[in-house]
Amino acid sequence: MKKIIFLVFLISLSNLTSQSSVDCNSNLSIFAEYYKVKNYEAAYEPWMAVREECPKINPAIYFQGSRMLDEFIKKSEGEIKNAYQKDLLKLYDEWLINFPAYNGRSIVGQIMSNKAQKMIDYKLASKSEIFTLFEDAYQTDPLSFDDPKPLYSYFKTYFELYKDGEYEITLNQIFNKYEELSERYNSIIDEYSKQIDIIINKEKSGIALTSREKRNKRVYEINSNASNIYLRNLNAIIAKESTCENLIPLYRKNLEENKTNPVWLNRAASRMDSKECSDDPLFVVLVELLHNLNPSANSAYYLGLLNDKKNNSEEALKFYNESIELETDNIKKARILYKIAAKFKNTKQFFKSRNYARRALEFQPSMGRAHLLIANLYASSANGCGKTQFEKRSVYWLAEREARKAASIDATIRKTALKAAESYLGRAPSKTDIFTEGNSGKVITFNCWIGLSVTVPTL
């Protein structure tokens, strides 16, 4: 008799589970349909049913659910708004429990950092609580902590805690955190650049892009642009603190305990270089220690820089080329080549500058600033190339062409590049000049260092 009762119980439980599964799938489908047409009011009830009864059925509960709650928050007021805000934070906690990974990749850092960002947006916690959550997210899962806005907020919150003076945060810790996060930004930007380069190289080969590749390119460009903007904002926060007057005494003070730490030495040398503190003798000490401890692309570049300052051009070039050879990552190699191109530009060695800029583009076809640098080299040479005034001004067509190339491949500098292109076009011969000189369609060759030709537009 007991066996019969137990079997009946099992059958009943099985029926309930089956019914629950049907209800979950039904509610999930209803939610998805309403969500698709942005009818969030109708989507809310089936979404809540799925969220409460079967929280592990589909990650859409959390991806779409968080966006839907955001919309309710935007359109609500008072206590209702506050209730939605608190529920959104609760949803992030549930997300961590039920879907900490997506497509085989952990998204713990993403979930936690997005929650911390909402706590900032809605003023739902203290700075110290928010920073603790950011810190936990970054230490737990830095790879998925790649959204540019929360990354920026992470540092900004830490910097504000430092400025408040209520916490034992030193300037040295601020610099360490800044270096850590700026490196993270550069890593994220580099990954987008690599994806864009693959697509650009396919375009150059004459193979038509698929609709998915076109869409992906736009997404990579948008994300790369956003990351660059927030990185510039990050740099702006630290700018007043990272002066040579602050950096040099700080690095000098910490040198003894870090003289065998290649990461610290490299960051210190990099910061001194970027803030133009490299004339100080400390920079020489840092570079020599770094190169002796761990010869790298960066240390070789800095040795080239030191020799440049001593006017040892041949020795400098030797180290610059060593730097390029030591670097194995194409994006970082392109970055070094661009730096060298910029150095040659500043010393008016335009031919060498263009060569290094072109080499940078071989390793990173999406580096628009290399095209922009070449455009500037051409524009700066207008008076020295060409025999007549018309020919001299024709150089600006070359500059315009390079600037437009920059705009076409690099969303991060597109506005700047287009503005430069229009400026160069404005300095090139006008239609009236072309008509007056009778040069329509004529090919003009520049026998100066440029060594290129340009065809005058036809009227």
- Local confidence pLDDT in tens for the 459 residues of the chain: 444 443 333 333 344 344 456 789 999 999 999 999 999 999 999 999 999 999 999 999 999 999 999 999 999 999 999 999 999 999 999 999 999 999 999 999 999 999 999 999 999 999 999 999 999 999 999 999 999 999 999 999 999 999 998 889 999 999 999 999 999 999 999 999 999 999 999 998 999 999 999 999 999 999 999 999 999 999 999 998 999 999 999 999 999 999 999 999 999 999 999 888 989 999 999 999 999 998 899 999 999 989 988 888 889 889 999 999 999 999 999 999 999 999 899 989 999 999 999 999 999 999 999 999 999 999 999 999 988 999 999 999 999 999 999 999 999 999 999 999 999 999 999 999 999 988 999 999 999 999 999 999 998
Spell out a b/e string for 72-101, using b for 16 or more CB atoms within 10 Å of the CB, else e: bbeeeeeeeeeebbeebbebbebbeebbee
Looking at the 3D structure of the chain, how many domains does it have? 3
Give the per-residue pLDDT at 167: 87
Give the pLDDT confidence of 93-107 residue by residue, as tens digits: 999 999 999 999 999
Give the pLDDT confidence of 28-74 residue by residue, as tens digits: 999 999 999 999 999 999 999 999 999 999 999 999 999 999 999 99
Indicate if 235 and 131 belong to the same structural domain.
yes
Give the per-residue pLDDT at 314: 87
Give the per-residue pLDDT at 20: 58
Give the per-residue pLDDT at 308: 87
Dist CA 373 CA 208 (whole Å)? 29
Domain annotation covers residue 92: yes
Give the per-residue pLDDT at 9: 36
How many C-beta neighbours within 10 Å does residue 44 have? Answer: 17
Indicate if 149 and 58 belong to the same structural domain.
no
Give the per-residue pLDDT at 309: 85
- 170 by DSSP, 3-state: which? coil
Domain annotation covers residue 279: no
Domain annotation covers residue 288: no
Give the per-residue pLDDT at 21: 65
Domain annotation covers residue 4: yes
- Whether 332 and 322 have beta carbons less than 8 Å apart is answered as no
Give the per-residue pLDDT at 8: 36
Domain annotation covers residue 50: yes
Backbone angles phi, psi at 166, to 5 degrees: -90, -10
Indicate if 28 and 132 belong to the same structural domain.
no
Amino acid identity of residue 73, one-letter, is I
Indicate if 81 and 182 belong to the same structural domain.
no
Give the per-residue pLDDT at 175: 92
* CA-based nearest residue to 158, from 128, 192, 120, 191: 128
Indicate if 92 and 172 belong to the same structural domain.
no
Domain annotation covers residue 333: no
- Whether 137 and 112 have beta carbons less than 8 Å apart is answered as yes
Dist CA 71 CA 219 (whole Å)? 23
* CA-based nearest residue to 398, from 451, 361, 441, 357: 451
Indicate if 66 and 170 belong to the same structural domain.
no
Give the per-residue pLDDT at 313: 84
**Assigned token pair, 162:** 């430092």
Final residue belonging to a domain, choices 99, 118, 153? 99
- Whether 35 and 68 have beta carbons less than 8 Å apart is answered as yes
Give the DSSP H/E element, type plus range, for residue 443.
strand 443-445
Indicate if 157 and 51 belong to the same structural domain.
no
- Whether 372 and 399 have beta carbons less than 8 Å apart is answered as no
Final residue belonging to a domain, choices 99, 115, 138? 99
| H helices present in 37-77, as ranges | 40-53, 60-75
Indicate if 131 and 175 belong to the same structural domain.
yes
pTM of the model: 0.84
Domain annotation covers residue 365: no
Contacts of residues 322-331 at CB distance under 8 Å and 24 or more positions apart, as own/partner, are 323/297, 323/298, 324/297, 326/295, 326/296, 326/297, 326/300, 327/297, 329/190, 330/194, 330/197, 330/363, 330/364, 331/190, 331/193, 331/194, 331/363, 331/364
Dist CA 356 CA 333 (whole Å)? 11
Domain annotation covers residue 332: no
Parent domain of 32: 1-99
